[in-house]
Amino acid sequence: VEPHFPVLFVSAMKVIIFGANGLLGQYAWKCALEAGHEVTAFVRSPDKLDKDDPKFEQLQVVTGDVMDADAVKLACGGHDVVISCVSPAGGTPTIDMAKSIVTNAMASGVQQFYMVGGCGVLWVEGTNKTVMLKDKEGMPEGLQKASKGHILSLEFMETTGLTQYTFLCPGKMTDGPANPNCIVKLDEFVEGGFKASLGSCAKAIVDDLGVGQHFGHRVCVAEP
């Protein structure tokens, strides 16, 4: 099991985060700003953003719907990288949101993507099979369905022709800051790794901005 990759000094990037007012999205924009990047939050409900955080004044906010092609294209113009933290709230399938974000962001010139899925798309160690959550005792049906949506999204990413994208694959995300003992492993599931803090997941994304060590990989994030 590899330790977390070291943080390298990189130039500031222009980052747009979809789902920035969600649980992971809030951690992601704060972490990216703290790392010195220029950050835009694309959200449906800007009132849900944490305006009490002192970094909020540095955040650019765009209100829109990820299924609105023109809004996504316009918002993504001039950005270097997309981070997608969206969840299927409101009944829109995960795959449909992924297609809208990626297709329209690419039309605006974005070539780097960090997509968030779940541990169900990781390989079982030593095999070419994905983790099947339905085989895990007591796994709720909702998580099984979410895993299928993430697999479809990953399969879609493989058809885009992009080379600079990664798929973050945590298990259950719990509220809390980054854990210094967090484990980051490429492509394969860490046995017992069904939990990681929101802070650890956000940091795993932001640490790779401008570095690209995770491109072309599924990224397991887990805490011992």
Nearest Cα residue to 56 out of 74, 78, 41:
41
Q: What percentage of the chain has pLDDT greater than the value 90? A: 69
Question: Confidence band (pLDDT; 50, 70, 90) for 7?
Answer: very low
The answer to whether residue 182 scores a pLDDT higher than 70 is yes
- Residues 114-127 have pLDDT tens digits of 999 888 888 887 77
90 close to 65: Cβ distance less than 8 angstroms: no
Cα distance between residue 129 and residue 90, in whole Å? 31
* DSSP-derived pairing of the beta strands 183-186 and 218-222: antiparallel
Rg of the chain's alpha carbons, rounded to an integer?
16
pLDDT score, position 10: 62
- Residues 17-36 have pLDDT tens digits of 999 999 999 999 999 999 99
- Residues 58-109 have pLDDT tens digits of 999 999 999 999 999 999 999 999 999 998 766 788 899 999 999 999 999 9
